[in-house]
Amino acid sequence: MQTHIADGSGEYRRAMLGMLLGSLVTFAILYSPQTLIGPFAEQFGIAPSAASLVISCSTLTLAVSMLLVSVFSNAWGRKNLMSASLLITSALAIASAFCHDFHALLVLRLLEGISLSGFPAIAMTYLNEEISPGSLGKVMGVYVAGNAVGGFAGRIVVSLLTDLFDWHVGMLAVGVVSMACSVLFLLRLPDSRNFKPESVSFRHWIGGFKSGFSDRRLPVLYLVGFLLLGSYVTLFNYIGYPLSRPPLNLSQTVIGSLFVFQLVGSWSSVVFGRLADRHSRAGLIGVGVALSLLGAALTLFGHLIPMIAGIVLFAFGFFGGHTIASGWVGKIAPPAHKVYASSLYLLFYYFGSSLIGASGGVFLTAYRWPGVIGLICGLLVAVAGLAAVFLHRKPVSSGKRALSRAAERG
């Protein structure tokens, strides 16, 4: 008989703390170097597109590794794999602070992407197995909030300490704090009680991923995720360039602090999630795209207030569109294979971050900031087109099409 953790219990509070800590560590380490792309380019004498690989190589290996990790978690256990993921990643983050060669830094960031995959790939499964269905909402909210707070905290800590000392000190601080949080995660997260070990089955795994293409809207939604995160990461990878140069000349600390406006994404996700129950999801993706387009355009003005407004609007629109697309995947995927469809969405999602995020540096070098915004706007227009053409109406099933043709012949 299964025993679930209910709201109000000590175990429930420990589970919330564990999810918050794990989420903080994951996204602080993953995105903390994002404000350092400019300093990396200058120190190592490389192009911005090459410097952005500190983000892209991690998200790329994270995306691929997440597809494999779910298989092994069925045999090794949820908490064990999540704890190992966080501890190993924190150790790699500490090691990266001592790098004085860019290629060595990239190798460690690549390994961080692999080790990081163990937490986000398993966290949702752990929560669904261990938390009472009626108490799941609050702890899920804490987990999502940790994503935004962790990403912001990592960036601001690195930016502040880079200004005071150098980026090595900033990344060391993120690594040490992450290690402390990882140890606390291991000690405080309740053990799995409803986990049932299974043998590793790649045949079942492959069949599950095939089902992720059973509905024609699913690959379109994967592509939407690819384009959305690609545009989002591109903007925030390179926005430090116009902010740090004339006429603004902002310091690393101020630039890092501007990432606080990304926290509007937590509110945006709630707003769009509620609207999805009453309005067209394709239309809501269009609304999110329109807000992001307006936000991107505002960053071209070259003045601080319009740029801040642009960052807020862009983040609000992105998180809204991502909330709708990712939730839609879970809604239309086959019930027994939702985890595989979600994994495919995340694969495309992080591939967009890696591939498009790196290519934005080419546009920056060739066409400066307006070129980056042109790329981003093109990607967002493509998202709107996909939503309007392929997602606006529910596809007619093969059975209904056959009945329709028979009726026409009759």
Q: What is the pLDDT of residue 211?
A: 81
Distance in angstroms (rounded) separating the CA atoms of residues 341 and 347: 10
Q: In this predicted model, which residue has the larger pLDDT, 113 or 141? A: 113
Residue with tokens 């690393």: 252
Which domains does the chain carry?
7-190 (1.20.1250.20), 204-410 (1.20.1250.20)
Q: Looking at 239-337, list the stretches that DSSP marks H as alpha helix, in order from N- to C-terminal side.
A: 240-244, 252-257, 264-275, 281-298, 304-332
Mean pLDDT across the chain = 87
Q: What is the pLDDT of residue 409?
A: 40
Lowest mean pLDDT among 171-180, 307-316, 340-349, 399-408: 399-408
Say yes or no to pLDDT of 195 above 80.
no
Answering whether pTM is above 0.85, one says no
Say yes or no to pLDDT of 406 above 80.
no
Q: 131 forms bridges with which residues in the sheet?
A: 5
Residue with tokens 């071209």: 300
HSE-CB of 250 using CA atoms within 13 angstroms: 23
Percentage with pLDDT > 90 across the chain: 56
Tens of pLDDT, residues 85-123? 999 999 999 999 999 999 999 999 999 999 999 898 788
